[in-house]
Amino acid sequence: MSNSTFRQRARYRFDNFMSKGGKSIFISLFVFFLAALGLVTVVRSLVHWTIPAQVQHQGGFFHQLYVSFLEMTDPGNMAQDIESSPWYKLPAIIAGLAGIVLLSMLIGFITTALVQKLDDLRKGRSKVVEDEHTLILGWSEQRVVEILRELVLANESEDNPAVVILADEPKEEMDDFLALALPDTQNTRVVTRSGSTSSVTNLQIASVETCRSAIILASASEEADTEHKNLSDARSIKTILAVASARGDEELNIVAELYDSHHHDIVQRSCGHPITVADANDVLAKIIVQTSRSVGLSIAYGEILSFDGCEMYFYGADWDGIKFGAVQYHFPDGVPLGVRTADGEIQINPPLDTVLGDDTEVLIIADDDSTIDFQKAPVATARDLPLKPGRLQQHVENELVIGWNKKARIIIEQYADYVLDGSRIDVIVKEPADELRAEISELDAALPGIGLQLHELDPLDIDSLSEFDPAHRDNVIILTGTEDQTAEEADSHTILILLLLRKLFESSDDGDAARPRLITEVMDSRNQSLLSNAGVKDFIVSNKLISMMIAQISEEADIKRVYDSLFEEDGSEIYLKPASLYFEQTPVEVSFADCMGIAQKREEVCIGIKVKADERNEDANFGVDLIPEKNRKFTLQPDDCLVVVAEDET
- Per-residue pLDDT tens for 448-496? 888 889 999 888 888 888 888 888 888 888 887 665 667 777 778 888 8
Q: 6-123 and 134-278: same fold?
A: no
**Per-residue confidence (pLDDT) for residue 55, from 0 to 100:** 43
pLDDT band at residue 32, thresholds of 50, 70 and 90? confident
pLDDT at 188 over 80: yes
d(CA 388, CA 100): 99
The identity of residue 20, as a single letter, is K
pLDDT at 83 over 70: no
- Per-residue pLDDT tens for 283-331? 788 888 888 777 778 888 888 888 877 888 999 999 988 999 999 999 9
CATH class of 134-278: alpha beta
Weakest mean pLDDT among 188-197, 527-536, 636-645: 527-536
Weakest mean pLDDT among 247-261, 358-372, 373-387: 247-261
Residues 6+ apart with CB under 8 A from 148: 136, 163, 178, 182, 185, 190
Highest mean pLDDT among 126-140, 223-237, 552-566: 126-140
**Per-residue confidence (pLDDT) for residue 351, from 0 to 100:** 92
CATH superfamily of 398-542: NAD(P)-binding Rossmann-like Domain (3.40.50.720)
Mean pLDDT of the chain: 83
pLDDT band at residue 1, thresholds of 50, 70 and 90? very low
What is the residue-wise DSSP string for 589-612?
Answer: EEEHHHHHHHHHTTT-EEEEEE-G
- In degrees, rounded to 5, the angle at the alpha carbon of residue 59 between the alpha carbons of residues 57 and 63 is 90
**Per-residue confidence (pLDDT) for residue 626, from 0 to 100:** 92
Provide mean pLDDT across the span 219-242.
Answer: 83
Check: CB of residue 349 under 8 Å from CB of residue 604: yes
**Per-residue confidence (pLDDT) for residue 59, from 0 to 100:** 62
- In degrees, rounded to 5, the angle at the alpha carbon of residue 523 between the alpha carbons of residues 313 and 549 is 15
Provide mean pLDDT across the span 520-545.
Answer: 69
Q: Report CA torsion sign: 99, 105, 108, 110.
A: negative
The hierarchical CATH code for the domain 6-123 is: 1.10.287
**Per-residue confidence (pLDDT) for residue 510, from 0 to 100:** 60
99 or 342, higher pLDDT: 342
pLDDT at 90 over 80: no
pTM: 0.74
193 pairs with which residues across the strands? 166
The three-state (H, E, C) secondary structure of 239-253, written as one string = HHHHHHHHHCCCCCE
Domain parsing of the chain, residue ranges: 6-123, 134-278, 398-542
**Per-residue confidence (pLDDT) for residue 479, from 0 to 100:** 86
d(CA 478, CA 427): 10
475 or 76, higher pLDDT: 475
Provide mean pLDDT across the span 417-422.
Answer: 84
**Per-residue confidence (pLDDT) for residue 35, from 0 to 100:** 80
275 or 237, higher pLDDT: 237
Please give the share of the chain, as a percent, with pLDDT higher than 90: 23
**Per-residue confidence (pLDDT) for residue 286, from 0 to 100:** 81
Provide mean pLDDT across the span 517-535.
Answer: 71
**Per-residue confidence (pLDDT) for residue 537, from 0 to 100:** 60
Highest mean pLDDT among 126-130, 228-232, 262-266, 628-632: 628-632
Provide mean pLDDT across the span 194-203.
Answer: 91
Check: CB of residue 424 under 8 Å from CB of residue 449: no
d(CA 432, CA 225): 16
**Per-residue confidence (pLDDT) for residue 593, from 0 to 100:** 94
Provide mean pLDDT across the span 500-509.
Answer: 79
574 or 506, higher pLDDT: 574
**Per-residue confidence (pLDDT) for residue 411, from 0 to 100:** 87
Please give the share of the chain, as a percent, with pLDDT higher than 70: 88
- In degrees, rounded to 5, the angle at the alpha carbon of residue 125 between the alpha carbons of residues 124 and 126 is 95
Bond from prior residue into 587 cis (ω within 30 degrees of 0): yes
d(CA 315, CA 313): 6
pLDDT at 53 over 60: no
**Per-residue confidence (pLDDT) for residue 166, from 0 to 100:** 93
Provide mean pLDDT across the span 548-555.
Answer: 86
Provide mean pLDDT across the span 69-89.
Answer: 71
pLDDT at 224 over 80: no
**Per-residue confidence (pLDDT) for residue 17, from 0 to 100:** 67
